[in-house]
Amino acid sequence: MTSGGDSHSNHDYGHDHDHDHDHSVSDRTGNLSEEESVQLTVPEMDCPSCAGKVETSVRKIDAVEAVDPQVTTGTLTVGYEQGGTSPEEVAEQVEKAGYTVESGVGERTETFTAPEMDCPSCAGKVENAIERVDGVAAFRTQPTTGKITVTFDQSRTSADNVTRAIENAGYEVTDSTANDGDSAVAETESVWRSTRAIKTWISGGFTLLGLLFEFVLGGLNAELLATGEVVLSTADVLFLAAVVAGGQEIVRGGYYSLRNRNLDIDLLMSLAILGAVTVSLVFGEALYMEAATLAFLFSVAELLERYSMDKARNSLQELMDLSPDEATVQRDGEEVTVPVDEVRVGDVVVVKPGEKIPLDGEVLEGESAVNQAPITGESVPVDKTPGDEVYAGTVNEQGYLEVQVTSEAGDNTLSRIIEMVEDAQSNKTEREQFVERFAGYYTPLVVVFAVLVTVASPSLLGATQTQAIVYGLTLLVLACPCAFVISTPVSVVSGITSGAKNGVLIKGGNHLEAMGEVEAVALDKTGTLTFGELTVTDVIPLGENTEDDVLRCAKGLETRSEHPIGDAIVEHAETRGVGDRSVSEFESITGKGVRAELDGTPHYAGKPGLFEELGFDLNHVHAATDGGMVTQKSRQMCERNDCLDLLESVVPDLQSEGKTVVLVGTEDEIEGAIAVADDVREEAKQAVSRLDDLGVEHVVMLTGDNERTARAIAEKVGVDEFRAELLPEDKVEAVQELDEQYDGVAMVGDGINDAPALAMATVGVAMGAAGTDTAIETADIALMGDDLSRLPYLYELSHDANSVIRQNIWTSLALKAGLALAVPFGLVPIWAAVLIGDAGMTLGVTGNAMRLSRIDSDIGE
């Protein structure tokens, strides 16, 4: 099958059109039970054809209920009846299909929900704990969703052991797929009303009272205890109370960090607070105020960070909230409301005006306008009639609909979007990987610097011992790279979820990053710049024939044809209501057209070359005297004054408009000409222009069409270059050439036929992927609707995301470094280190990242 749908079959009219957009998907309607499934790693299963062979082989096992091959990840998930088969037998069937199973037999993958794991530091503790569980093969933490996905060997460990490991790291597991939990984003109580918030406000109250006694009510600041060098005043006791109230959670976190050997902010702050209290109580240096300030302000910083993460989580939760929890189903002649999970493929659900469509399906009865914006990003509701496809999460705006379900809950388009958005957060960008590597060196270096400053500043900078200790504690606060580390993932989450809500599915932060940096964009023609559906644009009767005469003959000739051009002609003729003719002796003339007997008379339909071979003089053909075309194309030299020059005038003129011309006639007479075209999308020209405005250096159109048709389309849409008459391998070479000439190229196609070119490009973008597994899996990014205006939005979103990530990284790094270098000179009080270096930067990078959600998807903006 050719790239972009630019091929033909059976016969050829000289123009390569194929509109066989295969939206079929493998049967995934089975309900995968976590207790009765196995996930295998099959790296060689890397194309839809491979997946088909593997699925066919595995389904030979009677007990298999569902097979879900994922070619993009090389994983195969198989659901089966408990006791009916085994992972080993499934693996054996995969190998019989010719593919090697690298891992998975005896392994199990579970997802655990730990709502309080909401920062990179938290994730680090959990990772260290899980690493020490014997039998764990792989794991992935997602602070943005509060989830941990773990793959483990069931013969060596269990889900309970993994749960205990997570909880031993200090984080409660509230749910897991092992307990039939769902995939919802982790939910936490309101940040500002949580137990920690209450303790923080109490700590703040004691700190405020201590400051009042210390600096305002000095006369009342009585000495309560004096032992050797240690003196406790009223203010000191209040400060200690503040430390106890606000420092509990901090020290608890520090304990788990130490236990899991993780040098993070909890451990550093615990050392700073306990160090200040120890120095005060043992050596009489009176750092009670600093300890209280640290306990209170860091607790506030933690609340702010959790609030910021909740904002990021909410952007994903909004996607999940699109799908209703219940559906109204027709059963036994009655309408019954049941949970969505209980609806099965083939059930008929009733959707009333204003209700959300609960599951993917096909309209059986009723007509309505459906708001598909949550899935495809289309701003205008789409009219739906019987036979049309609808998606879960879209809204029935007006009429009553009866929809036959085609995908169960968890297997519909919206579910796949949510799953891929979640997975995309774990697909780390190059910048994110750099940040994590840098953070591994940053914290130890600053800790060492803190020790050196504490020891050396009295002799080198003339600081007192108390000042030196405060400098050291301040540097411990700045040693945590939290804002620096979170700067990239929070931007990626914001960008990916923003795209998903606007009909653009980005399958990883690395693809988001790469799309914003491409310098060239290659566009497939058929189905991308054009609608991918041929229609009749002109009917030119010749001789004494009428348009209906021409269409009646063409319809008879093309009824048995399987070519898209023939389909377009037949459809147009039926729309016009022309009659039928008796057809016999049909044959396809390879590369030229078709022949058949109509009512006993031989007729032909095909490209002009076919009729030249039949002996016709195409430079001298008489038109029907209907005005219009005659006056435009007449030749004065003909005595009848209605002569058409098909070769030099009519056909070239139509082809210059991007149309394909089919002649119809007998062995003795050319009865007429029919022009067929694949209309250019209305938004195509504006999309190409907008890409140019946004800074894309080169936009090229790739097509299998002939050069004249390709040139006409290229001129209409305004691309910088076009390449015509390309086979699939030619498109791959074209993408390679563009990639060598420019710094990165994005290939935009239908996601199925353009798979080779999509795979070769820096970023592959699939058009119109809604409802199709294959299109979503093939490309790096999927435009869910057939709307090319989403392409400039995608580029702008990606470009701005890169800018935000750079801003967040370098601003947080520069601020941290500047504060750290200023500490030894007494320019940074400890409260500033907490409020500015930690809480301030965390809020700053999060707020900056949230700007991505405000990028307008309107092409005209």
Beta strands in 750-851 (DSSP E): 763-767, 781-783
Single-letter amino acid, residue 71? V
Q: Determine the Cα angle at 800 with ends 381 and 391, to 5°.
A: 25
C-beta separation of 762 from 779 below 8 A: no
User: How many Å apart are CA 117 and CA 418, to the nearest integer?
Assistant: 20
For residue 327, the Cα-to-chain-centroid distance in whole angstroms is 27
User: How many Å apart are CA 287 and CA 281, to the nearest integer?
Assistant: 9
Q: Which residues pair with 676 in a beta bridge?
A: 536, 660
User: How many Å apart are CA 303 and CA 120, to the nearest integer?
Assistant: 15
C-beta separation of 549 from 634 below 8 A: no
3-state helix, strand, coil in the chain (%, to 5): 50, 20, 30
435, 508, 496, 511: which is closest to 849 by C-alpha? 496
- The structure tokens listed for 151 are 């793959």
372, 410, 408: which is closest to 389 by C-alpha? 372
Task: Please state whether beta strands 37-41 and 64-70 pair in parallel, antiparallel, or not at all (unpaired).
Answer: unpaired
| Cβ atoms < 10 Å from Cβ of 168 | 17
User: How many Å apart are CA 676 and CA 468, to the nearest integer?
Assistant: 84
Residues 6 or more apart in contact with residue 747 via CB below 8 angstroms: 522, 524, 735, 754, 757, 758, 760, 761, 763, 764, 765
First to last CA, the chain: 37
Distances (CA, A) of 85 to 58, 81, 92, 153: 11, 7, 11, 18
Helix spans in 591-706 (H): 608-613, 629-633, 651-656, 684-694
Cα dihedral sign, 852-855-859-861: negative
Catalytic residue among 360, 524, 754, 787: 524
Distances (CA, A) of 36 to 78, 92, 132, 150, 294: 8, 17, 27, 17, 51
Kindly tell me the number of DSSP H helices and DSSP E strands found in the chain: 27, 33
472, 503, 539: which is closest to 824 by C-alpha? 472
Sheet holding 136-142, edge to edge: 136-142, 147-153, 107-113, 175-176
List b or e across 202-220, with b for residues whose CB sees 16 or more CB atoms inside 10 angstroms: bbbebbebbbbbbeeeeee
Task: Please state whether beta strands 147-153 and 107-113 pair in parallel, antiparallel, or not at all (unpaired).
Answer: antiparallel
- The structure tokens listed for 349 are 């659900």
State yes or no: is 27 an active-site residue.
no
C-beta separation of 177 from 150 below 8 A: no
Residues 6 or more apart in contact with residue 45 via CB below 8 angstroms: 51, 54, 69, 71, 74, 76, 99
The set of catalytic residues is 524
